[in-house]
Every structure is written in structure tokens, then in C-alpha cells.
Amino acid sequence: MIKNLIFDLDGTLATTHQDIISSLNHALSFMNIKKKINKKIFINSANKGSKYMIMQITKLGNKKINKINKLFLNHYKNNICVKSKIKKNLESFLKYSRRKKIKLFVSTNKSEKNAKILLKKLKILKYFKFVIGYDTFQYKKPDPKHLKYLQKKFPFKKDETIMIGDSEIDFKLAKKFNIRFIFVRNGYTNKSSLEKLSEHHFSNYTKLIKILKKLN
């Protein structure tokens, strides 16, 4: 019986790349850098963080990269949900989970504050029991320690828990923590191999309902 689901955020629960790219390019433009980040660059670098993306496109030193990243974060927190939207049929799935009393959690490498702001603006924060950011327990994905802390806070059995995400980082986290993994096909990754490695995969949340019914 599946009683707990742990979700990645960007690319899994919501399509967020437009707002992130817009804020990154705003920061680059402010620093008079003509190069721009596009969706292809974002997908290839998203799981490595904003600093890595800035470094890849600018080839600047750490001091300037940190300055650009700070400008990005300041702009992004005020423009976090301009074009971002939840995935198709997600809300129907969230209501289904509530009826079935499945506990939902979020595990993201966003800051906890930004993750909660985004989820609130998307009007889905109320469905999640707890949100973990990179700064919640001082451990980032794929380090499984932050899920160990979550398990202490909300005791759950691993065989009743599934990690759901769109990246290799999410897959590695699930593997290290010894829980099942379900792959979101229409997220931010080029890793088609994850379809083969994951027990199940989907691109529409109505499919996830069917998967859970089979598992339960």
C-alpha cells in the first residue's frame, strides 16, 4: 500500500522554466552580458543549479558569477510565478490523493521559502504536508540525509513511499534512500534512460492515478 509520495518541484509538479530563464537573462542583461540562456541550455544544466548555468554561458570567475546569481535570485523571488503553471491534471490528482489519505511531500533544490511561495501562488501548497528545500535540513538532493530527517519528523515506511521526479538527481536520491522511483517524462531532462530505470513513468497525472491503483 502506497501511503506517501515525495515530489520534485520544477518540471515535476509545475512547468517553471520560463520564469527562471527570464530572471537569469534579466541578471545577465543588467551586467551588460549579451549572451542569453535558452530552454536548451536550461534543460542541459537545470539540475546543476543557476550558478552552473551562468558559468557555462559567461565563463566568468566566481566573484562575478556570484554577483549575477544574486541579481537572478532577487529578480526571481519577485517574478517566481509569472508564466509558471501546474502540470496537466495535477489538481485532480492532488484531490484524489487527499481522498485516499496519501501524504504528499515536496523535495526540491530550490530554497524552502521560494518553493513555498511558488506552490502558494500555484494554489497547491495546501495539499502538501511538508516542503523540503536545499536549506531546510542543510542537505541537497541527491544526498539522502534530508529524507532521513523527513522520516524522523513524519515517520513512514520506505516500502510505502515513492519518489516522483523528472531528473537523474531524483532517481539517485530514491536509490540511495532505498525507495521506489516514478519518472516524469515531460520534465527537464534529456535522460531517456530513466524511463528504463524507473518502475513506472508518466506525462499526465491521470496516468499516475492509474499507476497508484495498480500498486495498491
CA distance 183 to 202: 7
Mean pLDDT value across residues 82-101: 97
- Cα Rg, the chain, nearest whole Å: 17
Q: What are the structural domains of the chain? A: 4-15+85-215 (3.40.50.1000), 17-78 (1.10.150)
pLDDT 10s digits, 20-65: 999 999 999 999 999 999 998 898 887 788 999 999 899 899 999 9
Helices (H), 6-106: 17-30, 39-45, 50-58, 62-78, 90-99
Q: How would you classify residue 11: left for phi > 0, otherwise alpha for psi between -120 and 50, otherwise beta?
A: left
Question: How far is CA 111 from each of CA 78, 140, 143, 214, rounded to the nearest angstrom?
Answer: 14, 10, 16, 34
Model confidence band, residue 191 (pLDDT cutoffs 50, 70, 90): low
In contact, 187 and 12? CB cutoff 8 Å: yes
CA distance 111 to 142: 15
For the chain, the average pLDDT equals: 94
pLDDT 10s digits, 100-145: 999 999 999 999 999 999 999 999 999 999 999 999 988 889 999 9
* Confidence (pTM): 0.95
Q: Where are the beta strands (DSSP E) in the chain?
A: 4-7, 14-15, 85-86, 103-107, 130-132, 161-165, 180-184, 200-202
